[in-house]
Structure 1
Amino acid sequence: MSTPVLPLLGRGLAAGGAAGLAAGLFSLLLAEPLMDRAIRLEEARSHEHADAGAAAVQHHEELFTRSTQHFGLVVTSVVFGLALGVLFAIAYALVHRRDPDVSPWPRALLFSGAAFLAISLLPALRYPANPPGVGDSSTVSDRQGLWLAAVVIGVLGMFLVWQVYVRLADRSVPVRQVAAAVTGVAVLAVLFALPGNPDEVPVAATLLWDFRVLSIASHAVLWAVFGVVFGALGLRAFSRAAAPAGAVPVS
């Protein structure tokens, strides 16, 4: 059963907004306290090496209070979720058009899990998140480029793994699984061939570990909520569309 694109976009926006809000609140309640600690540590280091440039940076940071930044975090998460919802809906429509008989619930969960691996987990394995204030401002563009390259490799890698699994449909299940696993290992090898983080991370090991765990956990919340909401909305639409066909006519 085919599905029009506009309803899929609506489902994507609804799921993306809910997922972004959930991830933003998660980060606000759990990750932000760690970020505040990291900022205080960075300010302490700045005071130890105070100069005119550091004073200018400190003055600039005072333009936005932490409360404003906390609110901006939630808003940014919702906007990010909405954007992901549109992209997710388009990708889902392309796959759904090829095989429209699959139930939307397992497909949405599978898609969300694959997106989490490709966009969040794989890049984070190579370039784990760092607290704010960590890193030289002169290397920002380099770090952003490396992160983008990791995301591209993750997305293309997941697509390649899926293609290998699909194209070996006539083979036994163990053969397909082994081939997909070998492809996944090759993707990891390419990912870790990228250059390392160019900056040191002068943060306490415990604080850094907690921040990175909560960072990837917020991504997991984002994609879990997205998959559940998108799948539930799709299942409801699927049931409504199938109900008239299965209804017993009243004589």
Structure 2
Amino acid sequence: MTVSAETTPYPLLPLLGRGLAAGGLAGLASGLFSLLLAEPLMDRAIRLEERRAAAHEHGGAHGHAAEAEELFTRGTQHFGLVVTAVVVGLAVGVFFALAHALVHRADHARRPWERAVALAGAGFLALSLLPALRYPANPPGVGDGGTVQERQALWVAALVIGVLGMVLAWQLSVRMGRHGFGAPARQLAAAGAIVGTLAALFLLPDNPDPVPVPAPLLWDFRVLSLASHALLWGALGATFGLLSLRRRTEGAP
């Protein structure tokens, strides 16, 4: 019996393997990027925080010096940064593969490169760029310990809004395509959904903590942080797409 392409089961295990391989490589690239470019800025921010803590101690907050001691050396922290980036990349790669299977379950073999790159771009937009426009990254040591839960809740809310906005943009494009709308109309509708998502993000409360960091250092840190996210998603999409193209060339699902 012949099975049509529309009813062929999605090859999930090979897809997850490609997601893990692409995610691990992307995480390694992102981690090395952060180690070489962002970590010097973090070291400067840590020195600034240490000076602020020393000033508080001399001003009467005696006893905090022991609490400020590092549990791990900076070398250990640098190694942990790269390891953490790889682990995060692996996790993102798995979710990327599952999202790819969900979005393209009906015709998974078509245009593997274009689809992988497009999905990576959507992931960067929903999970990195849009939330970062509302709540930009801050160097270590910035923020009151008493507001950690509030800041985490705001960040999670921003992620959820970003994902929902991207799903809305995708659904608008798909449904309008089914009703015969051309590419310009679908793209404008998707862009409108993204703009609406950004507006919804700015309805969230502001960051509750001041950022006592020099403006040039803060700007450089935020730009490099966003660039590391862009590298992660770009390397993930490109590697996943190339692996998918290779499997299709070999005749594998």
**TM bracket (short chain):** over 0.9
Alpha-carbon distance in structure 1 between the residues aligned to 2:172 and 2:249: 32
Aligned residue identity for 1:89: A
- Gaps in structure 2 of 5+ consecutive residues: none
CA drift of 1:89 comes to: 0.8
Aligned residue identity for 1:227: G
**What is the CA deviation profile of residues 208-234 of structure 1, one whole-angstrom value per residue up to 9, with x for unaligned ones?**
000000000000110111111111100
Alpha-carbon distance in structure 1 between the residues aligned to 2:108 and 2:33: 35
TM-score when normalising by structure 1: 0.92
1:13 correspondence with 2:27: no
CA drift of 1:52 comes to: 4.1
Query: Among 40, 44, 49, which residue is 2:51 paired with?
Result: 44
1:217 correspondence with 2:227: yes
When you count helix as a share of all residues, which structure comes out higher?
1
Instruction: Quickly say closer, same or farther: Cα 1:207–1:97, change in 2 above 3 A.
Output: same
Aligned residue identity for 2:238: V
- The answer on whether the counterparts of 2:101 and 2:108 sit within 8 Å (CA) in structure 1 is no
Alpha-carbon distance in structure 2 between the residues aligned to 1:97 and 1:177: 22
CA drift of 1:130 comes to: 0.1
1:230 correspondence with 2:240: yes
After the TM superposition, which residues 103-122 of structure 1 pair with which residues of structure 2 at under 5 Å, given as runs? 103-122=111-130
**What is the CA deviation profile of residues 17-55 of structure 1, one whole-angstrom value per residue up to 9, with x for unaligned ones?**
000000000000000000000000000000000124522
Query: Among 124, 144, 150, which residue is 2:152 paired with?
Result: 144
TM-score when normalising by structure 2: 0.92
Alpha-carbon distance in structure 1 between the residues aligned to 2:114 and 2:26: 18
Partner of 1:246: none
Alpha-carbon distance in structure 2 between the residues aligned to 1:10 and 1:57: 43
Partner of 1:125: 133
Name the SS for the 2:65 alignment partner.
helix
Query: Among 215, 221, 238, which residue is 1:205 paired with?
Result: 215
Aligned residue identity for 1:67: G
CA drift of 1:82 comes to: 0.4
Displaced runs of 4 or more, over 4 A: none
- Gaps in structure 1 of 5+ consecutive residues: 244-251
Instruction: Quickly say closer, same or farther: Cα 1:172–1:96, change in 2 above 3 A.
Output: closer
Query: Among 174, 183, 190, which residue is 2:184 paired with?
Result: 174
**What is the CA deviation profile of residues 55-94 of structure 1, one whole-angstrom value per residue up to 9, with x for unaligned ones?**
23213x2x21100000000000000000011111111111
Superposition RMSD in Å: 1.4
CA drift of 1:115 comes to: 0.3
Aligned length: 241
Partner of 1:249: none
Larger mean Cα displacement after TM superposition, 228-237 or 173-182: 173-182
Partner of 1:163: 171
Partner of 2:40: 33
Aligned residue identity for 1:78: V
